[in-house]
Amino acid sequence: MSSKWIEIARTGTFTDSAGRPQTFTERDLAAIAQHYDPQKRDAPLTFGHPASDKAPAFGWAEQLKSEGGKLFARFRDVPEKVRELVAGGHYRHVSMSLMPDRVSLRHVALLGAAQPAIDGLKAVEFEDGGDAITVDFAAADSREAAARGEGDDSMSIEELQRQVGQLTAQIETLRAENTELKKKAESHKQDKEKAEAAREDAEKKAGQAHADFAAYREKVEGERREARVSALVKAGKVKPAEKAGILDFAARLAAQDDTVDFAAPDGTTEKVSLEERYLRELEARPVDERGTDFTAPPAHAGGDDPAFDYDKMASKL
């Protein structure tokens, strides 16, 4: 079929199933042929007129031409089984389906039953509630067929059985493909659910690890802070009564992200945290010196004084 031009329409006036006349002129057929571009929208070859565009295709219209008041189509990728059915006379007629603009070819259908003739012309039908115009043309006029002795379109039992067997095989193939697609879809769904569960588990573990690390770091910093202040108490630079308040105040400073400049004894300046500067200043105090900011009980060191302003003390540092 791919090398032959197949007649799919001709000029004339036809009556659709609703009793409305439909006329196609040579200009109409030429417009359909000129408008067809398979690179933009190729029209499939189908068995009958499918209810939707999701039906399988059994070939594709490769090219259209208008000549002598007729519209022809040439097809490609037609399966051998379809060729055999056509050659056996099981699908003698074709029917073209147009989009509502009457120039865009929607599909070309192979028809197994003879269409009724009206003055030698075939019926016009509307598919999908009028959304698409379907024009059916028989391969030959019924009166011409009668003259050739082909008026009886019935098939023998053997031919019917053969056709039913072929169609049954097609149905089984489609069922098997559908089952396989369902299995793949289910497998994909399960893989997606597993991946989602793994992601949630990883996020949960990461959150827990972050919390555990934060708690561990806080514990280590607390022990380090306790050791430094205890050393200050032992060295006589901090009174034992000051220890709890200093630890509390240092912990509050550690919670802030600000840094300050600290002048080292050697004259260099470095960026340190508020807590580190506070502890270094305590460590730099002479043993026998108590500054006004560190008298017992030191207001800045925390304690139970509600009037103590930690932010003000931090800004002072």
**In this predicted model, what pLDDT tens digit does every residue of 52-79 receive, in sequence order?**
777 888 899 999 999 999 999 899 998 8
pLDDT of residue 169: 73
Same domain as 244, residue 112: no
Show Cβ contacts of residue 146 under 8 Å, excluding neighbours closer than 6 positions: none
The single-letter code of the amino acid at 34 is Q
The answer, yes or no, to whether residue 193 has pLDDT greater than 50, is: yes
In whole angstroms, give the CA distance from residue 22 to residue 67.
20
**How many structural domains does the chain have?**
2
Q: Is residue 169 part of a domain?
A: no
Same domain as 137, residue 33: yes
Same domain as 10, residue 117: yes
The pLDDT of 217-239, averaged and rounded, is: 89
Range of the domain at 51: 6-152
Q: Is residue 77 part of a domain?
A: yes
Q: Residue 119 gets which letter from DSSP?
A: T
Residue 233 in tokens:
């108490």
Same domain as 18, residue 130: yes
Q: Is residue 117 part of a domain?
A: yes
Cα→Cα distances 232→117, 147, 279, 284, 285, Å: 114, 124, 9, 10, 9
Q: Is residue 65 part of a domain?
A: yes
In whole angstroms, give the CA distance from residue 10 to residue 96.
11
Same domain as 225, residue 137: no
SS3 (DSSP) at 9: strand
SS3 (DSSP) at 225: helix
The answer, yes or no, to whether residue 136 has pLDDT greater than 80, is: no
Q: Residue 77 gets which letter from DSSP?
A: S
Q: Is residue 185 part of a domain?
A: no
In whole angstroms, give the CA distance from residue 117 to residue 221.
98
- Name the average pLDDT for the chain: 75
Same domain as 227, residue 148: no
Percent of the chain's residues with pLDDT above 90: 16
Q: Please say which residue of 152, 180, 202 terminates a domain.
A: 152
Same domain as 14, residue 109: yes
Answering whether pTM is above 0.75, one says no
Same domain as 106, residue 230: no
SS3 (DSSP) at 120: coil
Residue 311 in tokens:
């932010």
Confidence category of residue 303, pLDDT binned at 50, 70, 90: very low
In whole angstroms, give the CA distance from residue 91 to residue 113.
7
pLDDT of residue 267: 75
In whole angstroms, give the CA distance from residue 223 to residue 70.
97
On whether the CB atoms of residues 20 and 35 are closer than 8 A, the answer is: no
> Tokens 């073209």 identify what position?
96
In terms of DSSP H, where are the helices of 101-156?
142-147
Q: Is residue 177 part of a domain?
A: no
Q: Is residue 242 part of a domain?
A: yes
Of 139 and 58, more confident: 58
- Tens of pLDDT along 237-255? 888 998 899 999 989 988 8
288, 292, 293, 296: CA torsion to nearest 10: 70
Show Cβ contacts of residue 191 under 8 Å, excluding neighbours closer than 6 positions: none
Confidence category of residue 151, pLDDT binned at 50, 70, 90: very low
In whole angstroms, give the CA distance from residue 169 to residue 79.
15
Same domain as 116, residue 31: yes
Q: Please say which residue of 117, 152, 187 terminates a domain.
A: 152
pLDDT of residue 37: 95
In whole angstroms, give the CA distance from residue 200 to residue 211.
16
Same domain as 228, residue 139: no
Count of residues making up the chain: 317
Same domain as 247, residue 128: no
Q: Please say which residue of 109, 127, 152 terminates a domain.
A: 152
Q: Is residue 262 part of a domain?
A: yes
Same domain as 268, residue 141: no
| Winning range, highest mean pLDDT, from 79-93, 111-125, 233-247, 248-262 | 233-247
